[in-house]
Amino acid sequence: MNVIQFIGGVVICVQVAVTICAILLFTGCSASDEAQGTPAATGSALVFSVTEGEGTTRGAATRAPQATMTLDGTAGTVSLKDKGFGVFACHTGAHPYVSTTTTANLMYNQLVSYDDGEGVWQYAPLVYWPHGTTGDKDYVSFFAYAPHSTQAADCIVDMSRDDETGDPWLLYQLGGNELPDGPAGWKACQVDLLYDFQRDQQKNDNPSTRVGLNFKHALAAIGDRITVTCDESVATRLKGVYEDSPVVLTVTQITLDYLLTRKGRLVLNGTTQPNWQAVDSEDAKVHRTLTFTPNLAMVQATSASDSSITPFDSGAGHGIFYIPIESGSAKQQVTITAQYTISTGVPAEVVEEGSVNAVVDLSFISNASEGRNMDITLRIPNN
């Protein structure tokens, strides 16, 4: 029997299985919680809450990659309450945001932390609502992000200065090195990034009213779960070369090689989508890899008429965050390579080995920063 080069005509067909989830919004205090713990002296102070958004499951994560941030750090996620968030506040006087040049003239990268005992978000020293010179209520626009820069390891590496005009911005770069594991690996070093923009807020006559923040994802995420299977046509071909002993296709290794944008500037004035801007310095792209060695007998032909297919499933927890903006000439993409052997006989003897691969262009994914988990499914068919 000659099965050498049997799989030569086989290619990988990649499907990105997208699970749509709600935009990540964090649950804040209830109405009773808002009143409780509000200091008596803060009737005109700027105070914050992190509110629950439309369609959000209370306290639940909408993403699964390691380092995903939720309000309370449930299910092994990172806790926003532990990390805190940063706020820039721009006082634009009697004119709204659209009519003025902004500066962080009221708050600059102010750390807002959660007080578990009081059940409130707090900061010090307190900042008060500005008084209008004409008796009208002045406008203040708020630009928030999380986690606060002191808690973001090596991912938030720069930001606009307090004396610069224009909307505040952050410079974000991918954390960790090319490999996934270890203290310097990308899994341990990647940082989720959230933002919110609340424009043209005015002082409310109710002293317990807070500025409500609805955080949204600034980063995209892909590959939390990797699955690989074979088309029935592959099993048919294995049965076609069966003689007197099983013919087995074994997937020995699966490698994902991500080519991703190294860094980008997030301007904190995004509304429906994050406002990313390219930064063209250093190498525009970096590699991030992920390897599995399943040694899985994926297809077995046990006779000329009988066969079985066993899919590979990585399980959850392998997702990677990436910046949804292109920089440089190369597109963001992931190359998936599956190495295999074909064996037959008793004891089994390898009669063929090789690899197949496919490339998925990540730039085609629209609104990639929405609260979605994008899994990767590969199918090995017969051409």
| pLDDT tens column, 191-200 | 999 999 999 9
Q: What pLDDT was estimated at residue 371?
A: 64
Q: What pLDDT was estimated at residue 103?
A: 95
Span of 44-48, 118-122, 151-155, 262-266 with lowest mean pLDDT:
151-155
Instruction: Indicate whether 213 pLDDT > 90.
Output: yes
Instruction: Indicate whether 224 pLDDT > 80.
Output: yes
Instruction: Indicate whether 333 pLDDT > 50.
Output: yes
Q: How confident is the model at residue 19 (pLDDT cuts 50, 70, 90)?
A: very low
Instruction: Indicate whether 59 pLDDT > 80.
Output: no
Give the residue, 369 or 223, on which the prediction is more confident. 223
User: What CA–CA distance (Å, rounded) separates 203 from 136?
Assistant: 10
pTM of the model as a whole: 0.84
User: What CA–CA distance (Å, rounded) separates 195 from 323?
Assistant: 14
Q: What pLDDT was estimated at residue 177?
A: 96
Q: How confident is the model at residue 370 (pLDDT cuts 50, 70, 90)?
A: confident
Give the residue, 59 or 321, on which the prediction is more confident. 321
Could you give the C-alpha distances from 306 to 53, 222, 240, 295, in angstroms and in order? 53, 36, 11, 22
Question: Backbone phi, then psi, for 66, in 5-degree steps?
Answer: -55, 140
Question: Backbone phi, then psi, for 307, in 5-degree steps?
Answer: -155, 165
Instruction: Indicate whether 31 pLDDT > 60.
Output: no
Q: What is the pLDDT of residues 247-258, one digit of tens each?
A: 999 999 999 999
Assess contact for 83 and 151: CB atoms under 8 A. Answer: yes
Instruction: Indicate whether 309 pLDDT > 90.
Output: yes
User: What CA–CA distance (Å, rounded) separates 67 from 122?
Assistant: 24
Across residues 64-87, what is the average pLDDT? Answer: 86
Q: What percent of the chain has pLDDT over 70?
A: 83
Assess contact for 231 and 309: CB atoms under 8 A. Answer: no
Q: What pLDDT was estimated at residue 348?
A: 86
User: What CA–CA distance (Å, rounded) separates 176 from 288?
Assistant: 9
**Segment holding 353, helix H or strand E:** strand 349-361
Across residues 249-273, what is the average pLDDT? Answer: 96
Residues 274, 275, 281, 285: what is their CA dihedral angle, to the nearest 10 degrees? 30
Across residues 30-34, what is the average pLDDT? Answer: 29
Span of 9-13, 140-144, 171-175, 299-303 with lowest mean pLDDT:
9-13
Instruction: Indicate whether 22 pLDDT > 60.
Output: no
Q: What pLDDT was estimated at residue 12?
A: 40
